Amino acid sequence: QAAADPMSSSDAPEDDPKETSSVSQNISDADAFKILLEMKMKKRQKKPNLPSTVTELDTEDGSKVYVVGTAHFSDSSKKDVVKTIQEVQPDVVVVELCQYRVSMLKMDEKTLLKEAKEINLEKLQQAIKQNGVMSGLMQMLLLKVSAHITEQLGMAPGGEFREAFKEASKVPFCKFHLGDRPIPVTFKRAIAALSFWQKVKLAWGLCFLSDPISKDDVEKCKQKDLLEQMMAEMIGEFPDLHRTIVSERDIYLTYMLKQAAKQIELPRASEAEPRKYIPAVVVGVVGMGHVPGIEKNWNSDLNIQEIMSVPPPSASSKIFKFVIKATVFGLMGYGCYRIGQRTIQFILSMPAAQSYLQKLTEIRSQH
């Protein structure tokens, strides 16, 4: 308003509401947008000083995408994200999260650390109810891997996404997009890609993950995504699993980044004014393991419909589901049997019961 009003603040009446109203009406929404956009452009560096973890990509219409490759348990990655957003003043920030994990943005480090460590039966039941038996178990097992690293490093995952969310809110007209494929789709496609014995072997490996993480591994976090590295080692012998968990998500993330990088339409003072567009600037925050795949797919025509479909349960999935249910009911039955057996033994050992049984024995012998 001050920029649009020719009258200086010293000459303006202090208590005249009519004058204040006229000042507000002197500037239109389009003008306000232009003023704020100019301020944003002045802060945007033409030759930004970016961290070494940033990969720059261009679109056909001149938009720029800065992909920050992060390690999910690294403080240096959080600093890289903040610096990149401050330098380029983006129009859109895209993060490697889906709607099922968006709560990570609202929690603080202490809450996330507690959630990651506490894996109980209630959480398992909720995951199975939401995603099915196999996908729910897979989700809990992967959470166990994350909790293992969390416990070893004393640091909760997702700090770079929370920093991205905070910094994006400070940039005028900056939108915040979730760029990852919904996690239930990923889990269901991953499970469908495995045979029965592969599922058993993978579950066994995840259940008994307990190797300590050394100080050298902590340092490696600054250069490589430790969580994705550990997962890559475990799924390396399962090519189909690697395809669904990593390669397909590379395609999805690339597609979402390209959608976010479409040109921006400037506001018009009237319908008669011609439409004007400017190239967009986008910052993508993804795990380091996805950066090579995004670069590989960047200039390809992408269709995500195929990788969004969930195949019907295979015969091995049905067998595995039956085995799990049979095991659970079997353990429950055995528990009831043992409890019942001990209860009967306890009752029979009581003096009153023994006296009663002795009397019954005497009566039967008399007859």
Asked if 51 and 68 touch (Cβ cutoff 8 Å), the reply is yes
Asked if 168 and 108 touch (Cβ cutoff 8 Å), the reply is no
Asked if 149 and 226 touch (Cβ cutoff 8 Å), the reply is yes
> Taking CA 228 as the corner, what is the angle to CA 232 and CA 155, rounded to the nearest 5 degrees?
145
- Show pLDDT as tens, one digit a residue, over the chain (367 residues): 233 333 333 344 444 554 444 444 567 777 777 788 788 888 887 889 999 999 999 999 999 999 999 987 778 899 999 999 999 999 999 999 998 888 778 766 667 667 666 666 666 666 666 666 656 666 666 666 666 666 666 667 788 999 999 999 999 889 999 999 998 888 888 878 777 777 777 666 656 555 665 556 655 654 555 555 555 555 556 677 778 888 999 999 999 999 999 999 887 777 888 998 999 999 999 998 899 999 999 999 998 999 998 877 655 555 655 665 566 556 556 555 555 555 556 555 666 666 666 666 666 666 6
Asked if 63 and 262 touch (Cβ cutoff 8 Å), the reply is yes
Nearest in space to 288 (alpha carbons), one of 225, 232, 234: 225
Residue with tokens 């959470």: 143
Chain CA centroid to CA 31, Å: 38
- Residue 70: phi and psi, rounded to 5, are -120, 160
Residue 175: strand, helix, or coil:
strand
Whether the model pTM is above 0.85: no
Residue 350: strand, helix, or coil:
coil
What are the distances in angstroms from CA 83 to CA 53, 75, 77, 86? 11, 13, 10, 5
Q: Which two tokens stand for residue 232?
A: 């890559």
Q: Which two tokens stand for residue 167?
A: 């910094």
